[in-house]
Amino acid sequence: MTTTATTSEATARAAIAHQASRRMASVTTQQKNEALERIAGALGDEQAHILEVNAPELERGRQRGLTDAFIERMTLTPERIAGMAADTRTVALLPDPVGEMFDTTTRPNGLQIGRIRVPLGVIGSIYESRPNVTVDIAALCLKSGNAVVLRSGTDAHDSSALLAGIVSRETEAAGLPVGAVQFIDSTDREEVGSMLGAREYIDLMVPRGGAELIERVRDEATMPVVAGGIGVCHTYVDADADLEMAKSIVVNAKTRRPSVCNAMDTLLVHAAVAESFVPEIASVLAEHVDEQAAAVLCGDTSGVPVLAEDYDREWLSLDCSLRIVGSFEAALEHIEAHGSGHSEAIVTDSYPAAQRFQREADAAAIFVNASTYFHDGAQFGLGSELGISTQKMHARGPLGLRELTSYKWVVLGDGQVRR
C-alpha cells in the first residue's frame, strides 16, 4: 500500500475500514457466515504454508533471546491452526447480534420504544506477537458487523500478515465489503501512534499484550479503549477445601499453559490445611514461598523466598508465589491488594465461603471449585474472544459478539405528538 508523506499507513487503512464499515451494517447473516466458513476452510488448506512462514520467526525469536513464554505464544502448530478454524466455525454458528431488538415497551400514549443492536463501526486492535489472535479478532469483528484494523507485533509479523491476508481474501470472496479487514504492513513503531490518533475512523481500540503496550494505548488513544489481559490471578485453597480437588485445580491453572493471562500466579492456602496441602503441591510447582510455607516445607529447598514485588507479578511461566493465610478475610485482603481484576478462584466445600467470595472478590470472572484456565471466550460459549477486559465499562471479561455492538433507540408511533 502506498502512502503520502503526510498520511501514515495506519491512518490510510483506518480510513478504508471506515468506508467499509458503513456497508458492513447491511451485510446479511448468511454472507457473514459464508465468509467465516471460507476462512476456516482456507486455514486448513494453507496449513503447510502457514507453518512454513511461522518456523523462521520462531528461530529468529530464539536467537534474539526471547523468553520461552513469548516463543510459546508465537508458535503455530497443526493443532493450533485446526483450533483457529474450529473457533471460526463456532462463531459462524452463534446467533447474529446485529438487528436484535430488546427492552421493548409500550408507553401509555401508545408509543413502542425499544433498542436495536448495531455494530460499533471500526475496531482497532494492536496486539503482541500472537498470530492466532489475528483470526480470532477478525472473525468476531466480521460476525458482529464491524470492520477491523489489525497491527501485529514485529516478532510474528509475517505469520500475522499471512493470516490477515487469508481472512481478507476470503471475506471479499464471500461478498463482504472490500476493505473491511485491514492489516498494517509496516513494522515502524510510529504507526502505532498514528493508529491511536485515528479517532476520526476508529471507534474502539482493544490492545492485547503486556503492561507496557496496554499502558501506552490507554495513555495515547484518542478513541475509547477496552483494555485488560494483564492477569495476576489467584487461587485460594480454603480451610474447607477438598484437597484432592484443590491439587487438580491448582496444577491445571498453573501448568496447562503457563504463558497465558488466565494462568494462576499466586496460590493462597489457609493455614488450617497448609501442612497437608503445601508439601503435596510443592512437588509439582516452582514456588516462591513465604516464611510460613518455608517452615511447613522444612528441609525441602525447592522453594525460594518470595519477594514483596512477586505478589504483583504475572509470571507467565511455571513459577508462582505461595502464601499461607490465617483466615478467609486475609485471602480476600491479599487479592484486593494484589489482584489485577482478571480471574480469582476459591476451592471450598463451604457454601457460605463460596457465596461470600463471589460477592467480595473483585474480578472479571470468579471461579468456585474450577480452574482459572477456563476464563476464555471459547470456554464461555462465545466462540472466541477479542480480548479479556478487566475494566467495568462498557464490557467486562471476554469480549464476544454482543460486546462488539452498541444499540440505538427505535421509537414506533402512529401520529403521537408531545404536548
* 103 and 213 part of one domain: yes
> What is the pLDDT at residue 229?
63
Residue 85 lies in a domain: yes
Is 196 a member of any domain?
yes
Span 25-65, pLDDT tens digits: 889 999 999 999 999 999 999 999 999 999 999 999 999 99
Task: Please tell me whether residues 13 and 160 are part of one structural domain.
Answer: yes
Same domain? 204 vs 66: yes
CA atoms of 147 and 22, how far apart (whole Å): 9
Does residue 207 share a domain with residue 305? no
Q: For the domain that residue 203 is a member of, what is the CATH number?
A: 3.40.605.10
| pLDDT at residue 267, rounded to an integer | 97
Q: 127 and 56 in one domain?
A: yes
Q: Which domain holds residue 16?
A: 9-226+399-412
User: Can you give the pLDDT at residue 95?
Assistant: 96
pLDDT tens for residues 81-128? 999 999 999 999 999 999 999 999 999 999 999 999 999 999 999 998
**CATH number of the structural domain spanning residue 298:** 3.40.309.10
DSSP per-residue letters across 78-115? HHHHHHHHHHHHHHHHSPP-TT-EEEEEE-TTS-EEEE
Domains contained in the chain, number: 2
Q: Rounded CA gap, 288 and 331, in Å?
A: 17
Supply the DSSP symbol for 156: G
pLDDT at 416: 96
**Does a structural domain hold residue 382?**
no
Please name the amino acid found at residue 291. E
pLDDT of residue 384: 83
My answer on whether 327 and 405 are in the same domain is: no
Burial class (CB in 10 A: 0-12, 13-18, 19+), 64: exposed
Same domain, 283 and 164: no
Ranges of residues in the chain with a pLDDT under 70 are 1-6, 229, 299-302
DSSP 339: -
- 113 in a structural domain: yes
Q: How far apart are the first and last CA of the chain?
A: 57
